[in-house]
Structure 1
Amino acid sequence: MPSLTETFSAHFGHAPDGVWSAPGRVNLIGEHTDYNGGLALPIALPQRTRCAASAREDDVLSIHSLQDDSSVEVRIDDVAPGHPAGWTAYVAGVLWALREAGYAVRGLEVVVDGQVPLGAGLSSSAALECSVAAAASDLFGLGLLESAEGRSTLASACQRAENDIAGAPTGGMDQAAAMHCTERHALRLDCRDGSTSQVPFDLSAHDVVLLVTDTRASHALADGQYGARRDSCERAADILGVEFLREIDPAALDEALAQLPDDVLRRRTRHVVTEIARVDEVVDALRRNDLEEVGRLFVASHESLRDDYEVSCTELDLVVDTAVDEGALGARMTGGGFGGSAIALVPVAEVDRVSAAIATAFADAKLTAPVSFSVTAGGPASKD
């Protein structure tokens, strides 16, 4: 298969101006908290989406994918909600959002190579957006990769692309992770004020790995279920008289729940408030190298997502239950849910056995074979 730069040269008739990349992410804990002004704790994956790109002098964005050999051309001024459709919305939306924010961007020639598994809850969309945003920043002299503030600006543009053009009502955690995560660290992200801090996350010193299992149960965040959860949270916050559910003190949670008119709102609110608290509990446990406590909190998070937020599924539950039964310190679904991936903290000596047990459990249940792989914490969007 031709390389990314070879494909670019063959498609456009000249070499690209450069290649940029951005990572997928795994969220260690803090699920469905970002749009509630809460906390999240992602790491960047080693798997990245790369884009070869050159600047154009006109308004035309010409996009080609190495994965499906498809091409799309669109003028930036013609980009609008739902246009272009499909995966190209994530690319075109970035340039549209940067222009909407007042940046002088023009068209691009782009070939993308996505190595983040699609539909796996590992944020392939944000990886795509952020690789293109990094390219645009460099090619148009915006200088936004050079500072934390500039990277936050790019992350915001990418989030707007996903929300307004692609139509997925996600929070900003995925894009912030792709722009701010660093190697061997998790990112404590405060989604209310955008502040970040780095938390050491190097499991190798403890003979433990983070095992990711892509259940192959594909999810789609634009299908209404994600939006319904977000709507419930906004309704609960309105009833409780707060801007975000983040503002509910965990110590006063029972009092807050008593004010809500139905069980669905109570369960959604309980998940968000307790999940936000669990993020800092995991941060504290990581700082004191208490991985058993991290594992316990992983399981508590999954149970909350399964029972109160109702975003798990048979495949995710099977991974978590099997991993814990086979010796994992803890496991949980990660990402938006309704499919996608689960993560487990597994002693190095048990990785092969846990992975095999998960595969066997899926086969016994006559489910599509999952894919399990170990990951380390990678770096942010950059020029290759």
Structure 2
Amino acid sequence: MSTGASQLFAEVYGAPPTGAWSAPGRVNLLGEHTDYNKGLRLPVALRQRAVVAARLGEVDVLRAVSMQSGSIVEVPIEGIAPGNLTEIQRVRAAVAAISARDFTAMGDIFVASHASLRDDFEVSTTELDTAVDAAMSGGGFGGSVVALVRADTEDAVVGAVTTAFSGRCFSAPECFAVAPSGQAGRDR
């Protein structure tokens, strides 16, 4: 997988990458847009893997190309967003709630986290806003939704989200349970 990413990088940018890395897919239960700003986050690694081939540039724009679509995206690199501070506080509160097994508080924290991603970062979508009692993860103009639910209510929650999407004429969501996975590392 990293070989394909390295080849695409060289084709698009005209030079080989410095290296290629892969990591398990992950969702941040809380802490979106804070981890790379020295803030706290609460991640869970997934079985699915992501691969990155990269080289340091001397520009103030991140340029990325997708192996799936081939499209190139440019993102200006800016300072820390205001939502970082409140998300760091939510991560601390979530750790306390998990330790206390207070999943009602966790639900409230998830909702507040989603509101921050929607309002402070402006990276939510109408589809994500439609998903009830969930927190957006993946943090970039859509991303994913993580719903903290009891195992015995999983089917009902998936049904409610699917029905809500259908009622809004959205494409059917892809829903699946997640479980912790292995670590990230440099592939080449």
Q: TM-score range by the shorter chain?
A: 0.7 to 0.9
Q: 1:222 maps to what in 2?
A: 73
- Aligned equivalents of 2:36, 2:182: Cα separation in 1: 24
User: 1:340, CA displacement in angstroms?
Assistant: 2.3
1:377 corresponds in structure 2 to 180
Would the aligned equivalents of 2:28 and 2:138 in 1 still touch at CA under 8 Å? yes
Alpha-carbon displacement from aligned partner over 1:110-144 (angstroms, at most 9, x marks no partner) = xxxxxxxxxxxxxxxxx213xxxxxxxxxxxxxxx
Cα distance in 1 between the residues matched to 2:72 and 2:139: 7
- Tell me the amino acid that sits aligned with residue 44 of structure 1: A
1:22 shift after superposition: 3.9
Distance 2:173 2:110 in 1: 20
Q: Of the candidates 277, 281, 293, which is equivalent to residue 105 of structure 2? A: 293
Distance 2:72 2:88 in 1: 21
Structure 1: stretches of 5+ with no match in the other structure: 5-19, 49-126, 130-157, 171-217, 235-244, 246-267, 325-330
Q: Assess, with a 3 A threshold, how the Cα gap between structure 1 residues 290 and 33 changes in structure 2: closer, same or farther.
A: same
Structure 2 segments unaligned to the other structure (5+ residues)? 2-20
Q: CA 1:361 to 1:221, structure 2 compared with 1: closer, same or farther past 3 Å? A: farther
Counterpart Cα distance in 2 of 1:351 and 1:34 = 29
CA–CA distance in 2 between the matches of 1:221 and 1:29?
A: 28
2:51 corresponds to 1:128 = yes
The within-5 A match list for 1:312-327 is: 312-319=124-131, 321=132, 324=133
What's 1:341 paired with?
Answer: 144
Q: Residues of 2 paired with 1:336 and 1:279: CA distance?
A: 15
- Displacement of 1:376: 1.1
SS in 2 for 1:28: strand
Contact 2:31 2:40 in 1 (8 A): yes
Whose Rg is larger? Answer: 1
CA RMSD of aligned residues (A): 3.1
- Are 1:351 and 2:154 an aligned pair? yes
Question: Under a length normalisation based on structure 1, what TM-score does the superposition of the two structures give?
Answer: 0.37
Q: TM-score, normalised by structure 2?
A: 0.72
Residue 11 of structure 2: aligned partner: none
Compared CA separation, residues 223 and 315, structure 1 to 2 (3 A): farther
Identical aligned residues as a percent: 48
Instruction: Give 1 or 2: higher helix fraction.
Output: 1
8 Å CA contact retained: 2:137, 2:145? yes
CA contact (8 A) 1:24 1:45 kept: yes
How far has the Cα of 1:169 moved from its partner? 7.2
Structure 2: distance between partners of 1:314 and 1:162 = 34
**Partner of 1:222: helix, strand, or coil?**
strand
CA contact (8 A) 2:117 2:139 kept: no
Match of 2:165 in 1: 362
- After TM superposition, the runs of 4+ consecutive aligned structure 1 residues lying more than 3 A away are 162-165, 167-170, 220-224
Pair 1:273–1:381, CA change in 2 (3 A)? closer
Report deviation, 1:370: 0.9
The amino acid of 1:338's aligned partner reads F
* 1:169–1:32 distance in 2 versus 1, CA, 3 Å: farther
Which residue of structure 1 aligns with residue 13 of structure 2? Answer: none
Matched residue, 2:8: none
Question: 1:123 maps to what in 2?
Answer: none
Contact 1:163 1:169 in 2 (8 A): no
Do the aligned partners of 1:40 and 1:276 also contact (CA within 8 Å) in 2? yes
Equivalent in the alignment of 1:73 = none
Letter in structure 1 aligned against 2:27: V
Per-residue CA deviation, residues 204-257 of structure 1 (Å, 9 max, x unaligned), is: xxxxxxxxxxxxxx9x99343xx3xx52xx2xxxxxxxxxx5xxxxxxxxxxxx
What residue identity is the alignment partner of 1:357? A
Q: Which amino acid aligns with 2:118?
A: R
Question: In the alignment, is the contact (CA less than 8 A) between 1:162 and 1:169 conserved in 2?
Answer: no
